[in-house]
Structure 1
């Protein structure tokens, strides 16, 4: 087996390759046979490995940057609850959400989307099971299911009508109605065809009525889907009955100018008329020792009163000049 030399100017990896190749040649010369190909493969691997160790630089030993996951705040503060309405009405459901990014709120009824927007409220009038789903593109939340119940509309009817009344002035009057129907009922009272301001209850109270309050009253009842009008009730108001106090001095003489003593006066007769020149009508008499009389049951107006003196002999004087009394 002969020796050989190699140049010192080869790099470490190349020296290794040259030595291995030389060794292979020596082994081949010694009849190594099939081992030659195995050794050459090993040599090739060693050469590649040597080159890789020196040439691989990468990014200087630093890892590639990793994106941080995006985060958001999305919390349910309050959620819608079950509700019940009458047919023809609506209800607004509201969900309160704490969030920092724009949100989309998707509302569904019985699994079908009915609204998708940024609105956190839904106005509904159809019965069903509802859900809302909130998303800001990063996080999401779902409210618990809630139910809207719609009751069938009940026809509006008036069960009790206001009644006619006849009263005197100064009396308090109450008119009332009873009605039934679905939903919330509202009332508006009318007097002779005109709405009465503030009269919006089932009962109408009129304080200390006067003749001016006499007329027809009725009420319109509504429930949002319809209305019903009551019968008209007639209020009759009689003028208040007044009274008049009449006083006089006893006559001192007779018609013939003879003296008339007080003891000779048996009685006084009282007369009245509604006209200064009209016929006087007898209304009452009082004993001779009375010097006043109260006329009662007088309606509004002006009245005229006169006296006649009757002595103990039954003689009656002519009527005195009338005095007027006005009843307001």
Structure 2
């Protein structure tokens, strides 16, 4: 082989070797190494929020939804009942973070809108409330206010003390006003009197056993009230007598002019315990009567006189007294 041929062969082998190495480098660049680089880029892209499709940079972070502010009803108003003329305050308890507005309504109409969580009401009906913080709204359950008739009880007039003789009839009374039905119960020396359940207490022909203290308890739906105590003092009499007094119709006036039946209106009866004592009027009877029975007379002598009253109101002088003795 000549020197020239040997050189050419050597050059050919070097060129072929260079081409083979270049081809190997190209295949190496298109194979597993390039895939590994792409995977690493994808992982980085995922870690940083992604890459711009145009290759111009990474995307903006995605905002998470904001948590709403707290707004809860802790306690709600309850229905209530009040007496007429009174008022009631309803209260709603609210848990909140932002400023709130509370709207109160009555029978469907708004009566108050403010930050106040209370409402003072005096009208019967149905109420509601709602609360908002500008973003969230919460509503309470409906509730009612009921009015009841005012209950009252007052004693206007009290029973009075009395001093009487045995045998007379005694009446005690009380005056009371109040709502609803009134009931009465009378008491004697602290014990209830059977059947004494009206505003008037009647005691017939009292004796010394009836001497004592009386009062009455008046009741209605609002409660009861007790009257003041009235004392009854009964004077004992050894004899209880009566006397029948009769007279004739007068025919003449003091001036001797005639007096007819139709001109007489009535007769006044006067009594005294002594002949020289002051006469006191004890009764008046109509002109149709010509007699009178005096009762409850103690032992002794009693004196009676008569005064005639005409239809014009003129009165005669006292007649001569007549005496009656009770033994």
Structure 1 and Structure 2 fold alike (TM over 0.5): no
For the aligned pair, the TM-score class normalised by the smaller chain equals 0.3 to 0.5
> Normalised by the size of structure 1, how large is the TM-score?
0.32
Normalised TM-score (structure 2): 0.32
